[in-house]
Amino acid sequence: MKKLLIDHSEIELAEELRRYDLQKYRVGQIYKWLNDGVDFAEMTNLPKVLREKLSEEYRAVGATIVKSARSKDGTVKFLFSLGDGNLIEGVLMKYKYGYTMCVSTQVGCRMGCAFCASGIDGLLRNLSPGEMLSEVICANAYLRSFGSDERVGNVVLMGSGEPLDNYENVTKFIRLLSAGQGIGQRGVSLSTCGIVPNIRRLADDGFSVTLCISLHAPTDEKRLGIMPAARAYKIGDIISAAEYYFKKSGRRVVFEYAMMRDFNISTADAETLRKLTRGFPSHINLIPLNETGSKLVGVNKKEADVFLKKLISLGASVTIRRSLGDDIEGACGQLKRKYAKDYNGGSNDG
Ligand code: SAH
């Protein structure tokens, strides 16, 4: 497989292309094209010979859109193909303050959470930094193709994969995102099932992205029933690592909590959850479980409201995540599975 140039920072790119003996502005031109998702043949301000040489040795594009589905609420779900033919998903969401792209960080996932469709086939491989960047670049190209002059302003690492199980590539992606796409760490949220040592490492490496932790249950015992990672990382250690991240970064931590009927939404669950998370500034993000075929069941609006109100009465900062793209298999891993099952090539909108 040819090397992917967009895996590089601009400085690394200059180093990588040193034997071409290019002038500095040429490297800048190439870097810019790469960040616009343009393949070598269309890098029109470069000499043709150079374009040909580059395409013999390298790849410029990390991901291409195979299929896109646009929801009534404006959410766009993408199926991307990678250089080796693997498929991943990304979701573009429109909020009042602009576009947020939900990015996948691995092909599959090895965490095995019972409620999540991404892990059903296990982990196939990590995504490279440039492949993750290409998801954002594709979304921007999609917006451009519809005549929009808006761009992705925020990125959430909440697609398929466990970001902290791919630490080096994910943190490099966060740096590339800032340099190449102008999306700084304030615009990035990283969601993890709670890989404690890497939460601490993220803090020690000086990151200030919004750290989101998938808690989903208030006790280790309950958590073990739905998240195999709970065997290795206990809630107490996750909370201490979250507090450490808060202290180092100054950023409030978000706890994600998927509400499941007869499992984690009792009054006692709310009280335990509140106790766990009250020691330092944090926010609880309640997610109505998206049923993916496991025996876990979601909640109705009334059940969700009762749990929300209980947490509010206990003094928690808490909101329910708005569900977007329900009609287009919005939740993790769902579109890819559907595509594999019944794609007929007909319903592309982009
Ligand atoms: N591996 C990371 C990112 C996963 S996706 C993590 O575990 O946080 C982002 C969020 O969606 C996580 O909180 C994840 O637990 C949640 N999620 C996955 N499947 C879901 C489903 N079927 N319904 C609701 N939330 C789900």
**214 CA distance to ligand 1 middle (Å):** 7
Averaged pLDDT for residues 51-69: 97
pLDDT at 345: 31
Task: Report the DSSP pairing between strands 58-59 and 3-4.
Answer: parallel
AA identity, residue 106: Q
pLDDT given for residue 344 in this prediction: 30
Atom 4, ligand 1: residue with shortest CA distance = 158
From 12, 56, 89, 221, the catalytic residue = 89
28-59 pLDDT, tens digit per residue, is: 999 999 999 999 999 999 999 999 999 999 99
* pLDDT confidence bin for 343, thresholds 50/70/90: very low
Answer whether residue 146 shows pLDDT above 70.
Answer: yes
**For ligand 1, atom 3, which residue shows the shortest CA distance?**
158
Is 177's pLDDT higher than 90? Answer: yes
pLDDT at 176 over 60: yes
pLDDT at 6: 98
Q: Tokens 């994969």: give the residue.
A: 161
138 is catalytic: no
Q: Is the CB of 332 under 6 A from ligand 1?
A: yes
**What crossing angle do the helices spanning 267-276 and 301-313 adopt, rounded to 10°?**
50
Q: Which residue minimizes the CA distance to atom 7 of ligand 1?
A: 193
d(CA 205, CA 207): 6
Ligand 1: distance of its center to the CA of 280 in Å? 23
The average confidence (pLDDT) of the chain is 93
- For residue 183, how far is the Cα from the chain centroid? 14
Q: Would you call 116 a catalytic residue per the annotation?
A: no
Class level of CATH domain 3-59? mainly alpha
Residue 244 scores a pLDDT above 60: yes
Closest ligand 1 atom, residue 214 Cα: 13
Instruction: Provide the pLDDT for residue 350.
Output: 28
Nearest residue CA, atom 13 of ligand 1?
214
The predicted-structure confidence for 276-298, as pLDDT tens digits, reads as follows 999 999 999 999 999 988 899 99
Q: In the structure encoding, which two tokens stand for residue 269, read together?
A: 């669950």
Q: What is the pLDDT of residue 90?
A: 97
Any atom of ligand 1 within 6 Å of the Cβ of 192: yes
Nearest-CA residue for atom 18 of ligand 1: 116
- Report whether residue 245 contacts ligand 1, using a CB cutoff of 6 Å: no
Percent of the chain with pLDDT over 90: 87
**What CA–CA distances, in Å, run from 204 to 102, 213, 261, 265?**
25, 17, 38, 35
Ligand 1 center to 289 CA (angstroms): 9
Q: What is the pLDDT of residue 294?
A: 87
Work out which ligand 1 atom sits closest to the CA atom of 193.
7
Q: What is the pLDDT of residues 127-136, one digit of tens each?
A: 999 999 999 9
| Residue of 109, 113, 116, 332 with catalytic role | 332
pLDDT band at 27 (very low <50, low <70, confident <90, very high): very high
Confidence at residue 265, expressed as pLDDT on a 0 to 100 scale = 98
C-beta of 226 in contact with ligand 1 (< 6 A): no
**Whether 273 contacts 283, CB under 8 Å:** no
At 337 the pLDDT is: 54
Q: Determine if ligand 1 sits within 6 Å of the CB of residue 162.
A: yes
Which pLDDT score, from 0 to 100, does residue 72 have? Answer: 87
Read off the pTM. Answer: 0.94
How would residue 334 be classed by pLDDT, with cut points 50, 70 and 90? low
Q: Where are the domains of the chain?
A: 3-59, 63-343
The pLDDT of residue 107 is 98
Tell me the mean pLDDT in the region 95-115. Answer: 96
pLDDT of 335 higher than 80: no
Q: Is the pLDDT of residue 342 over 50?
A: no
Closest CA to 136 of 247, 241, 236, 61: 61
CATH number belonging to the domain at 63-343, selected among 3.30.565.10, 3.20.20.70, 3.40.720.10, 3.30.70.270: 3.20.20.70
